[in-house]
Amino acid sequence: MPVVSLSAILDNALSGHYAVGYFEAWDLYSLQAVIETAEALGAPCILGFGGAVTSGAWLDAGGVEALAGLARGLAERAGVPTAVLFNEAQTHAQAMRGVAAGCNCVMLDSSHLPPAAHAAATRALVAAAHAAGAAVEAELGHLPTAGDDSEAGHATDPAEAARFVAATGVDALAVSIGNVHLLADGQAALDLDRLAQVQAAAPGVPLVLHGGTGLPAAAIRPVIERGVAKINYGTRLKLEFLAGVREALGALPEKFNVHDMVGSRQANDLLLRGQARVRVVLRELTVLYGSAGKA
C-alpha cells in the first residue's frame, strides 16, 4: 500500500471521532511491533522515530537516514494506510534530511524558542517540507518534563494558537494543556476547557497531545471530542521493552547459543521478549484510541 499523508490520516480521525497513536519507535524491533500491530487490528498507522531523546551527533552521522529508511521500507509494504514521521527533529537540517530519506511528515523541536523565533522556524520548515510533499506538525506552548524542574512548561494560549496556525500553515498542532513529557508515574491533570478553546480558535486543524504515557484513560474520549486526532506515546513502550529483556536475561541458562539469543528472530531471541511486551501495550492503546478497524 502506498505511503499516505499525515493530513489524510488525521482528517479521517477528526471526522471519525477517534485518535491515531504515534507510538515512537527506536529500532527495527520496535518499528515492526508498531506496524504489525496496526495491521493486525486494521488501524491506520503513523510510523516513526524521535530526535528529542536521541543523540544529535548520531542522527547527524547518518542516524536519520538509517531510521527513516527502515520506517519507509516497512510503511511501503504495510497493509494499512501509513505515514512516516520524524518526530521532534533537533534542527531544520535534520528534519529536511528526514524528508529526503523517506519521512512524509516532520516536526521540529522548537517550542522552547521565543514566540517570534519559533514561528519563523516553523514557517521555514513548512515552506521547505510542503515543497517536498511532506506535512509539518508543530507544538505551541511547551510541555514540562517529569522529574526535571529546569524544564518548565507553559500552556497553549488559544488566541496565540489561531495566529500561529494562520502565520505558519502547519498541518497539525501539538498543544500543552497539562500533559507532561516522560511521565511514567502518576497521571497528568488535563485542562479540557483550554483544549476546547484551542479547538474553537483554530477550527479544522488536527490537534495533538504529546506525553501519552501520562494521560489517564478516562480522558481519551473527552480529548478526542475536543479535536485531538493524534496522541504521541513512547516512555512506557521503552519501559516495557526493557522489562521484557530483563525478564529474559534472568531466565538464561548457564550455557546457551548466543546467536539464538540475540538477533535470531527465533523464539529465544531476547529482544523479541521485549517486543512482545510492547505489542501488548500497542494493542491496548489502539483499541482505547478508537482507531482499530478504521484503516
Q: How far is CA 49 from the centre of its chain?
A: 7
pLDDT at 33: 98
Cα(169)–Cα(10) distance, integer angstroms: 16
The model's pTM is: 0.96
What does the pLDDT read at residue 70?
Answer: 98
Instruction: Report CA torsion sign: 93, 127, 47, 281.
Output: positive
Q: What is the mean pLDDT of each run of 10 residues along the chain (295 residues)?
A: 94 98 98 98 98 96 98 98 98 98 97 94 98 98 80 88 97 95 86 97 96 95 98 97 95 89 92 97 98 98
pLDDT, position 2:
84
Q: Which three cell numbers stand for residue 275?
A: 517486543
Alpha carbon distance 113, 266 (integer Å):
47
Tell me the chain's radius of gyration from C-alpha atoms.
19
CA distances (Å), origin 243, targets 216, 249, 271: 22, 10, 11
Question: For residue 42, is it left (φ>0), alpha (ψ between -120 and 50) or beta?
Answer: left
Question: Residue 295: which of 117, 58, 82 has the closest Cα?
Answer: 82
Confidence at residue 151, expressed as pLDDT on a 0 to 100 scale: 66
| Maximum pairwise Cα distance, the chain | 64
**Residue 120: what residue type?**
A
| CB under 8 A, 24+ apart: contacts of 25-32 | 25/49, 25/71, 26/50, 26/54, 26/67, 26/238, 28/70, 29/241, 29/271, 29/272, 29/274, 29/275, 30/237, 30/241, 30/275, 30/278, 31/70, 31/71, 31/74, 32/74, 32/275
What is the rounded end-to-end Cα distance, in angstroms, of the chain? 11
Cell of residue 29, nine digits: 524491533
Q: Are 123 and 167 in contact (CB under 8 A)?
A: yes
What the block records as the C-alpha cell of 285 is 492503546
CATH assignment of 6-235? 3.20.20.70
Q: What is the pLDDT of residue 150?
A: 63
Q: Give the C-alpha separation, 127 to 105, whole Å.
A: 13
Q: Domain coordinates of the chain in residue numbers? A: 6-235
Note the pLDDT of residue 145. 83
